[in-house]
Chains A and B, each alone.
Chain A
Amino acid sequence: MDSRKNDPREIKTKVDSYYKKKSYSYLLKLLTIFILSITQLSCSPVKKQNRIIIASAGKIDSLDPAQASTLRALQLISALGDPLYRIDYEGNLIPKLAKEKPKVFNNGLTIDIPLREGVLFHDGTIFNAKAMEFSLKRFMKIGTQSYVISDRIKDIETPSSYLLRIHLTKPSSSINGLLTSINLTPISPTAYANHKDVFLNKKFIGTGPYKLISFQPEKQRIEPFDSYWEKSPQNEGIDYINFINSSSLFGAIKSGEVDLLLSNSVEDGHRLALNRMSQQGKLLEGEGPAMEIGYITFKTNSEPLNNKLIRQALSYSLNRKLITKKVSFGLREPLRSIVPPILNKDNKNLWPEYNPQIARELLQSSGYCSKKKLEIPLTFRSNVPADKLLALIWQEQIKRDLSDCMILELNGVESTTVYKQLSEGVYSAVILDWTGAYPDAEAYLSPLLSCEEIIKDKCLSGEAVISGSFWGSHEVQQGLNQSEKNQGFNRLQDLKEVEQYALKGAAYLPVWLVKPRAWAQLNISKPEFDGSGLLLLDRIKKQVE
């Protein structure tokens, strides 16, 4: 026994084992220190400020109102600048930088807009009619979406320091809605003197409640503007951060890393989870007016969808309730009109409800169902998860209800390609969405239906071609033209009639309606939206501990 105890090999093994254990113990200690240091770092006072962190999806490449087109950029510009008018939740035109509502005269060809006095730009210069003229003309010259107004505006004048006069090419009642556009937010002529013809992406000098402190594509900082003409913001500033994917956005609000999350590009599964959290009292949810419509365009100038009966059959075959429940768990609303109901309340249930029996009868009358099956290629944007789910569910639903009559063949294409090929007539049926440039029925009807050249019911050039339907109607065109000449109730009636004609043509199939939502932590006030679906950043309050 003793000899084994003194065996040098045995001793060496024991020593090795001792050192091994010791080294593991050191490693464990190091790991503990590392974890502790991380935990301590997480307690750093970085977030304990009276500022609000708002997260939204995607980068912001430009803050130039002539260039910005994404919702996230427009959302930020809406806090940095004021438009002439804003639309409230009830759809009323509220003067902002304009002093009162526009005065139309000269047979609808001239509009006078009296402007507010005593308004300053963030660089200290004065806002007046010249500044507004500069901003409008700059947008018309270099604005990426200048085509929206360039056709309508003939000239702009400034008869006095605070009066803007717009001469139109033809009477246009929809110009009122256009004047609420964030893209027409005035900018300081002094600050943009060297950028009359080029974009200024990383700065913004407007008149809004906030001024821009720093700009990076993935992070922007704004702080209240001390000399703001109206009520000051209810917070001390906003850090606006942009994450790329829905999971990060969801995780950021759930973990409390951000104070408020905007719903754009948040996937439906995450929206549902956030909605449930708000119902459980863990978050506050605010929702804006439903302005985004999801719809399907049918190409009407070639077989088989040139047959109106088939298009109508497809309208009857779509179970919106089931689809919205499966895709968005009920957070998207079924839609049976191509104008959001908030803009056209009487026309909210135009398109037919789901009825496979009528769909079958219509297909039978077109020669299908007995031996012949109708094959419809349905294209969806492969980078939009909701579209893919819609396509899959509709396909399965048709298999269940009308398998002897019809087959949907699915085809996923990246959205940039879809937009490019839409007017080339590549897609027989394609799932798309649309948000009007301003909250007005016309901003939904014209882009889908207006047509410059119509032969029979085929559109050869115009918006209907760009939309991919190629469907044209003289009645629709007359209705749209008439609506531009009328105001108020008569105008609304004209637009309602236009939508009735669109229903008869069945070139579009409305599917669902999407409301903008925002979720806030419990120490933040409930998010509020304006009538055009933009979050009112200046009304967000934070309870400081």
Chain B
Amino acid sequence: MNRQRALFKYLASRLAIAPLMIWLISSLVFVLLRIAPGDPVDAILGNRANEVAREALRAKLGLDLPLIKQYLIFILNLLNGDLGKSLTTQEPVSEIILRSLPASIELSFCALVIAILIGIIVGFQGISNRNKRTDLIGRVYGISTYAIPPFWAAMIVQLIFAVTLGWLPIGGRFPPTLTEPNITGFLLIDSILNRDLISLQGAIRHILLPASTLGILLSGIFSRSLRLNLEQQLDSPFVEAARSRGISKSRIIVNHALPNALLPILTITGLTIASLVGGALLIEVTFSWPGIALNLQEAINQRDYTVVQGIVVVISSLMVLISLTVDMIIAYVDPRVRY
């Protein structure tokens, strides 16, 4: 079969499966939330409300309906693009997501850029100095970033840079004394669009610690996989042939080995983006970063069913979309991939 046709068929089948996956995930979340102990009515009224007040609120929130009816309403609303209203605040779930998703995406993007930069530098240094001290340090660094618990790393970073040195703010997303620009929800972009240098400074200062912490923790995956893949490529016959033709070491690495070594990195990047879209919970909690993971955690604590369902549906849809995009990019850049 023609490669392009095969790819199209593969993507079409993935797209066809996507709604099924989202339906399965949302149904599972719906059921699990109802099975879990705890009650949104308790979370809202406290456990001291009398039965009349509880029943009134239950009816108001639609929680008195049979479970199957609640489920059907949820699915029907979902099909209409309506994620419902928060049980605790009555705020539309879509607004909560729109408010918090840009924060998570902004943090994830900055962290990913930092991770890739550090990962490439450390990986390159390692492969350029194979089995030397620099390589050893790079490998230890890579393993350490896997091993360090994110919350611990975040707290140490806070302690050093915010508390002891006082260089950067300890948490939050924007200086409390300034008014947040509100155009796209991405504060870095909004500050630039507003041409407001002080806001931009504030936004950068606030994102620097969480993004660097997350970026450094993620960089180990990139440095290690880049080093391993480059090592494999450098030992392959086509590199040997290039060497025998007298091509310089740097040209061999950059022009011959790197493009092949980057393919697995692309997959890792895709998977990392997909997982980061759901927010980096521990980093968001430690730095009080008002992202989607933090909202999800709070909604779970409050048993706010609609918010949890809405966030999970959006995150899973984005994950499906991102993994599909990554597959497409890989298929485009790597002619060896078959479907």
A residues sitting closer than 8 Å to B (CB atoms) are: 38-39, 41-42, 44, 46-47, 49, 51, 53, 59, 61-62, 67, 69, 144-147, 150-151, 198-199, 201, 214, 216-219, 221, 239, 241-245, 247-248, 251-252, 254-257, 414, 416-417, 419-423, 447, 463, 466
Are A255 and B170 interface neighbours, CB within 8 A? yes
- Once A62-B89, A420-B39 are accepted as A-B contacts, the answer to whether A257 and B288 lie under 8 Å apart by CB is no
Are B288 and A243 interface neighbours, CB within 8 A? yes
Across the interface, A252 reaches (CB within 8 A) one of B52, B171, B294, namely B171
Are A46 and B166 interface neighbours, CB within 8 A? no
* Contacts of B77-125 to chain A: CB distance below 8 A: 88-91
Shortest distance between the CB of A384 and any CB in chain B (Å): 13
Residues of A near B45 (CB, < 8 A) are 144-145, 147
Across the interface, B177 reaches (CB within 8 A) one of A47, A243, A256, namely A47
Give complex CA distance A420, B204 in Å.
43
Are A147 and B38 interface neighbours, CB within 8 A? no
Residues of A near B178 (CB, < 8 A) are 46
Give complex CA distance A466, B163 in Å.
44
Are A198 and B166 interface neighbours, CB within 8 A? no
Are B44 and A144 interface neighbours, CB within 8 A? yes
Across the interface, A42 reaches (CB within 8 A) one of B38, B39, B205, B287, namely B205
Are B167 and A39 interface neighbours, CB within 8 A? yes
Across the interface, A416 reaches (CB within 8 A) one of B170, B177, B301, namely B301
Residues of A near B88 (CB, < 8 A) are 61-62
Q: Is B285 part of the contact surface with A, judged by Cβ < 8 Å?
A: yes
Residues of B near A248 (CB, < 8 A) are 158, 170-171, 286-288
Are A256 and B166 interface neighbours, CB within 8 A? yes
Residues of A near B294 (CB, < 8 A) are 244
Give complex CA distance A38, B201 in Å.
10
Q: Is B196 part of the contact surface with A, judged by Cβ < 8 Å?
A: no
Give complex CA distance A245, B177 in Å.
21
| Interface membership of chain B positions 185-199, coded 1 if the CB is closer than 8 angstroms to chain A and 0 otherwise | 000000000000010
* Contacts of B137-159 to chain A: CB distance below 8 A: 155, 158-159
Are B177 and A251 interface neighbours, CB within 8 A? no
Residues of A near B46 (CB, < 8 A) are 69, 145, 419
Are B176 and A420 interface neighbours, CB within 8 A? no
Are B37 and A218 interface neighbours, CB within 8 A? no
- Once A219-B176, A239-B177, A255-B163 are accepted as A-B contacts, the answer to whether A419 and B42 lie under 8 Å apart by CB is yes
27 of the cross-chain contacts (CB-CB < 8 Å) are A38-B168, A42-B166, A44-B198, A44-B202, A59-B298, A61-B89, A62-B89, A67-B89, A69-B46, A144-B57, A145-B45, A147-B49, A199-B90, A218-B173, A244-B294, A248-B288, A251-B158, A251-B162, A252-B170, A256-B166, A414-B301, A416-B43, A416-B302, A420-B38, A420-B47, A422-B47, A447-B48
Q: Is B208 part of the contact surface with A, judged by Cβ < 8 Å?
A: yes
Are A46 and B163 interface neighbours, CB within 8 A? no
A42, A147, A417, A419: which has the most chain B beta carbons within 10 Å? A147
- Once A248-B288, A419-B47 are accepted as A-B contacts, the answer to whether A243 and B179 lie under 8 Å apart by CB is no
Are B91 and A201 interface neighbours, CB within 8 A? yes
Are A38 and B167 interface neighbours, CB within 8 A? yes
Are A245 and B49 interface neighbours, CB within 8 A? no
Give complex CA distance A373, B63 in Å.
45
A244-B171, A248-B288 given; name 15 further pairs at CB < 8 Å: A44-B202, A44-B205, A46-B202, A47-B175, A51-B177, A53-B176, A59-B290, A147-B45, A248-B287, A251-B162, A252-B170, A416-B37, A416-B42, A419-B47, A423-B47
Task: Return the chain A residue nearest B171 by Cβ.
Answer: A248
Are A243 and B172 interface neighbours, CB within 8 A? yes
Residues of B near A44 (CB, < 8 A) are 198, 201-202, 205
Shortest distance between the CB of B61 and any CB in chain A (Å): 11
Residues of A near B37 (CB, < 8 A) are 416-417, 420-421
Are B169 and A257 interface neighbours, CB within 8 A? yes
| Interface membership of chain B positions 302-314, coded 1 if the CB is closer than 8 angstroms to chain A and 0 otherwise | 1100000000000
Shortest distance between the CB of A50 and any CB in chain B (Å): 10
Q: Is B50 part of the contact surface with A, judged by Cβ < 8 Å?
A: yes
- Once A216-B180, A245-B286, A255-B166 are accepted as A-B contacts, the answer to whether A46 and B175 lie under 8 Å apart by CB is yes
Q: Is B53 part of the contact surface with A, judged by Cβ < 8 Å?
A: yes
Give complex CA distance A208, B52 in Å.
33
Shortest distance between the CB of B332 and any CB in chain A (Å): 34
Shortest distance between the CB of A539 and any CB in chain B (Å): 21
Cβ-closest 8 pairs across A and B: A147-B53, A416-B38, A239-B176, A419-B47, A417-B37, A243-B288, A251-B170, A248-B171
Are A247 and B49 interface neighbours, CB within 8 A? no
Shortest distance between the CB of B281 and any CB in chain A (Å): 11
Residues of A near B159 (CB, < 8 A) are 251
Task: Return the chain A residue nearest B172 by Cβ.
Answer: A241
Residues of A near B42 (CB, < 8 A) are 416, 419-420
Are B91 and A53 interface neighbours, CB within 8 A? no
Are A53 and B158 interface neighbours, CB within 8 A? no
B172, B288, B294, B302: which has the most chain A beta carbons within 10 Å? B288
Are B38 and A257 interface neighbours, CB within 8 A? no
B39, B91, B177: which has the most chain A beta carbons within 10 Å? B177
Residues of B near A256 (CB, < 8 A) are 166
Give complex CA distance A147, B166 in Å.
48
Residues of A near B39 (CB, < 8 A) are 416, 420
Are A49 and B177 interface neighbours, CB within 8 A? yes
Are A244 and B285 interface neighbours, CB within 8 A? yes
Shortest distance between the CB of A43 and any CB in chain B (Å): 10
Task: Return the chain A residue nearest B202 by Cβ.
Answer: A46
Residues of A near B204 (CB, < 8 A) are 41
Across the interface, A466 reaches (CB within 8 A) one of B48, B173, B205, namely B48
Residues of B near A251 (CB, < 8 A) are 158-159, 162-163, 170-171
Residues of A near B89 (CB, < 8 A) are 61-62, 67, 199, 201
Are A41 and B288 interface neighbours, CB within 8 A? no
B43, B45, B172, B204: which has the most chain A beta carbons within 10 Å? B172
Residues of B near A242 (CB, < 8 A) are 288
Give complex CA distance A343, B266 in Å.
66
Shortest distance between the CB of A373 and any CB in chain B (Å): 30
Give complex CA distance A146, B89 in Å.
16
Residues of B near A218 (CB, < 8 A) are 172-173, 288, 290
Shortest distance between the CB of A249 and any CB in chain B (Å): 9
Give complex CA distance A218, B173 in Å.
9
Task: Return the chain A residue nearest B155 by Cβ.
Answer: A247
* Contacts of B208-263 to chain A: CB distance below 8 A: 208
Residues of A near B53 (CB, < 8 A) are 146-147, 150
Shortest distance between the CB of A283 and any CB in chain B (Å): 14
Give complex CA distance A174, B162 in Å.
48
Residues of A near B52 (CB, < 8 A) are 147
Task: Return the chain B residue nearest A46 by Cβ.
Answer: B175
Shortest distance between the CB of B60 and any CB in chain A (Å): 9
Residues of A near B201 (CB, < 8 A) are 41, 44, 46
Task: Return the chain B residue nearest A434 by Cβ.
Answer: B48
Give complex CA distance A256, B48 in Å.
40
Task: Return the chain B residue nearest A452 by Cβ.
Answer: B50
Are B47 and A466 interface neighbours, CB within 8 A? yes
Task: Return the chain A residue nearest B175 by Cβ.
Answer: A46
Across the interface, A46 reaches (CB within 8 A) one of B177, B180, B290, namely B177
Shortest distance between the CB of B272 and any CB in chain A (Å): 24
Are A245 and B298 interface neighbours, CB within 8 A? no
Give complex CA distance A466, B53 in Å.
14
Shortest distance between the CB of A427 and any CB in chain B (Å): 12
Residues of A near B198 (CB, < 8 A) are 44, 46
Residues of B near A257 (CB, < 8 A) are 162, 166, 169-170
Shortest distance between the CB of B134 and any CB in chain A (Å): 11
- Once A42-B168, A144-B57 are accepted as A-B contacts, the answer to whether A247 and B158 lie under 8 Å apart by CB is yes
Give complex CA distance A508, B50 in Å.
21
Give complex CA distance A239, B42 in Å.
31
* Contacts of B273-306 to chain A: CB distance below 8 A: 285-288, 290, 294, 298, 301-303
- Once A38-B167, A422-B47 are accepted as A-B contacts, the answer to whether A247 and B90 lie under 8 Å apart by CB is no
